[in-house]
Homo-oligomer: A and B are copies of this chain.
Amino acid sequence: MLAEAASARGLTLHIVGIRGEARDEIERFPHTWVKWGEIGKMFRALDENGCGDIVIIGGVDRPDFSNVQLDLGAINTLPFILSLGKGGDDHVLSRVVRFFEQKGYRVHGAGDVAPELLAGEGVLGGRTPSAEDKADIALALRVVGALGRLDIGQAAVVVKGHVLAVEAAEGTDAMLTRCAELRATGRTGRRSRGGVLVKAPKPGQEERVDLPTIGPDTVTKAAEAGLSGIAVAAGGVLMAERGATIGAADQHGLFLVGVTLAERNGA
């Protein structure tokens, strides 16, 4: 999506994809595949294609370092690579950004290149949150803010004032599956539809490389968890498949809203 948006703007681009992480669709554009650890090859691909400006995008699992094959470029950066094994995601990502910047690359956020891929503000679908939903959104924003300050996660589910689930390393999909199970087993004592998923970037997060994302699958899983809707930080959450995401929300009867972070801070 980002490559399409950049092309549409007349930008020349080259994609470096990590094998087993990036999708084959990158092959529709000029590209180079690298394996985990082929850092020298990555830099050659960037330099041979004149990429002084880069965007780092897409989730990756933390690599199993025992399976990584280090090339010569990687050996030179070994102390840096080993340092990535520790700390929270934000800590890791900030160091990745600094790593590229120290080598002279300019690192941009996806939203800088294609702001239309970010969630907008206000009611994005056909439904509007109720007063109860808004109270749940406000609490969930506070929760996600607290999570973010500790570099834990970017999402939480609140149902009628009760924090049902909080995202850490498992990711949003797994968290929503858990919410659906909690509801199915009656653990939450709430059979009627209700509650919200909130996604927002960590405060002070390296937003250029780790924007939270939302797509049609997120909406479907939120519906399966019996939630009333989804609130995302306006301008702070990637919504690449915009039409399909809003369409899924309307189809499942969920509201989908973009909230400003001022609301998180109680303004």
Contacts and interface: CB of A to CB of B under 8 A. Distances in A.
A116 B161 CA distance: 35
Contact of A169 (B87, B170, B188): B188
A91 B61 CA distance: 37
A70 to B, nearest CB: 15
A143 B146 CA distance: 9
B150 A189 contact: no
A153 B166 contact: yes
Contact of A162 (B87, B178, B188): B87
B151 A189 contact: no
B189 A62 contact: yes
B87 A161 contact: yes
Nearest to A178: B170
A155 B26 CA distance: 41
Interface string A163-179: 11111111000100010
A86 B189 contact: no
Contact of A64 (B89, B161, B182, B191): B191
The majority secondary structure among interface residues of chain A is loop
A160 interface: yes
B169 A168 contact: no
Contacts of A63: 189
Contact of A182 (B87, B164, B167, B169): B169
A150 B156 CA distance: 12
A130 interface: no
A187 interface: yes
Given A87-B162, A163-B169, A178-B170, A189 B152 contact: no
Contacts of A174: 178
Contacts of A189: 61-65, 85
Contacts of A157: 168
26 contacts: A61-B186, A62-B190, A64-B186, A65-B189, A85-B190, A86-B160, A87-B160, A87-B162, A88-B162, A88-B163, A91-B161, A146-B146, A146-B147, A146-B149, A147-B166, A152-B163, A153-B163, A156-B168, A162-B169, A165-B169, A165-B170, A166-B167, A166-B168, A169-B182, A169-B187, A170-B178
Interface of A: 61-66, 85-89, 91, 139, 142-143, 146-147, 149-153, 156-157, 160-170, 174, 178, 182, 186-191
